[in-house]
Amino acid sequence: MSSGRPEPDQPLYTISVAAELASIPARTIRLYERHGLLTPQRTEGGTRRYSDNDIARLRRAAELAENGVNLTGIRHVLDLQDENTRLRESRTSDGG
């Protein structure tokens, strides 16, 4: 049964909409992408599409940047958070 809400990983938003939702400029999103902070899905025509999870990641990256963390540090923090989430999910699915 569907709740009518999209899956958090479903690519829905163009870069301009993602920028508005994350409250950061599109050029910052492109910079984050170049530095490996996120990899949006692309349409067959090459248009970037961002998911709700991507928007949350953009917001977290922007928050870290505002607190003085450089791009390399941001990537490490986000990678550690992703790993922590994966570990929690695998522990939950294992009945842990």
- pLDDT of amino acid 6: 84
pLDDT in tens, 66-92: 999 999 999 999 999 999 989 998 888
What is the architecture of the domain spanning 15-93?
Orthogonal Bundle (1.10)
pTM metric for this prediction = 0.85
Confidence of residue 4 (pLDDT cuts 50, 70, 90): confident
Output the pLDDT for position 3. Answer: 67
3-state secondary structure 47-94: CEEECHHHHHHHHHHHHHHHCCCCHHHHHHHHHHHHHHHHHHHHHHHC
pLDDT of residue 2: 57
List pLDDT tens digits, range 7-48: 999 999 999 999 999 999 999 999 999 999 999 999 999 999
Any idea which residue has 């829905």 for tokens? 12
Res 96: pLDDT:
57
- pLDDT(1) > 70: no
